[in-house]
């Protein structure tokens, strides 16, 4: 049975799972987040890392940090529906309260959204509602080249059934300079992500913990 929102009975802090990406930068970022949980800088117990790419480097990072992990693909599950059912079973079996998505490149299904309503947050490399979906940095850079765009951004938002359409929690603009290459812009966006996302996770979890303590 999934635990009540937010708190575990032993230490009164929420558990959570990170859905992860596949790039080397993603792996480093997930490691940095894991270390912040383990040091207590971010409140909560890092209970599970899930990745839908079993060969992703982030799995090796999880092993080194002794973070429990699980990985399986849509293909090996026989389609999206059984994949989502297996994922939901995994989350419930680990008594997960809160999900953090960073580089998880799949749309979350309605049943998981319903089960974890207002308990899933995502990091998106654009200033939403601009550039939802894939290739956000490349699209912003193309607008810079073609139309003189001077900024893009980073957004942390709650996940709903739409495409990067959930309520926004935090945002920050990222400048695009005339001399930029797309790689330089991508690096600047990632630098912003690495600051904004941990700060926002910490604030959201602290607010949840305070709310739970006040309602008990």
For residue 113, the enclosing domain spans 15-215
- pLDDT for res 80: 94
Residue 199's domain is classified under what CATH number? 3.40.50.170
Q: Which of 53, 124, 135, 157 is catalytic?
A: 124
Q: What whole-number distance in Å separates Cα of residue 142 and Cα of residue 47?
A: 39
Asked if 124 is an active-site residue, the reply is yes
**What are the pLDDT digits (tens) for 20-31?**
454 446 667 878
Q: Tell me the two tokens of residue 206.
A: 């602290």
11, pLDDT greater than 60: no
Give dist(CA 104, CA 53) in Å, integer. Answer: 10
Q: How many domains does the chain have?
A: 1
Alpha helices in the chain (DSSP H): 24-39, 57-64, 74-77, 80-93, 110-115, 136-147, 182-215
- What is the distance between the alpha carbons of residues 144 and 94, in angstroms, rounded to a whole number? 45
Q: Read off the pLDDT of residues 70-122 as tens digits, 9 standing for 90 and up.
A: 999 999 999 999 999 999 999 999 999 999 998 888 889 999 999 999 999 99
pLDDT of residue 125: 96
Q: Does the residue 5 lie in any domain?
A: no
Residue 78 lies in a domain: yes
Does 2 reside within a domain?
no
Is the pTM higher than 0.85? The answer reads yes
In whole angstroms, how large is the CA radius of gyration of the chain? Answer: 17
pLDDT class for 161, splitting at 50, 70, 90? Answer: very high
CA distance 133 to 201: 21
Residue in this structure with the two tokens 């139309």, named with its chain if needed? 147
């Amino acid at each position: 049975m999934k635990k009540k929102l937010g708190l575990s009975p032993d230490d009164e802090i929420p558990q959570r799972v990170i859905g992860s990406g596949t790039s080397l930068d993603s792996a480093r970022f997930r490691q940095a987040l894991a270390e912040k949980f383990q040091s207590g800088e971010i409140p909560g117990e890092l209970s599970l890392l899930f990745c839908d790419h079993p060969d992703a480097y982030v799995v090796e990072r999880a092993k080194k940090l002794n973070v429990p992990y699980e990985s399986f693909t849509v293909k090996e599950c026989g389609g999206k529906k059984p994949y989502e059912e297996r994922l939901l079973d995994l989350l419930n079996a680990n008594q997960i309260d809160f999900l953090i998505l960073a580089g998880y490149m799949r749309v979350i299904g309605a049943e998981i959204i319903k089960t974890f309503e207002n308990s899933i947050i995502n990091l998106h490399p654009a200033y939403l509602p601009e550039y939802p979906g894939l290739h956000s940095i490349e699209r912003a850079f193309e607008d810079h080249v073609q139309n003189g765009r001077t900024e893009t951004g980073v957004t942390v938002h709650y996940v709903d059934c739409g495409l990067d359409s959930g309520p926004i929690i935090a945002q920050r603009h990222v400048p695009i300079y005339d001399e930029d290459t797309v790689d330089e812009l991508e690096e600047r966006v990632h630098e912003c992500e690495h600051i904004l996302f941990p700060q926002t996770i910490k604030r959201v979890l602290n607010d949840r913990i305070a709310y739970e303590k006040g309602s008990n």
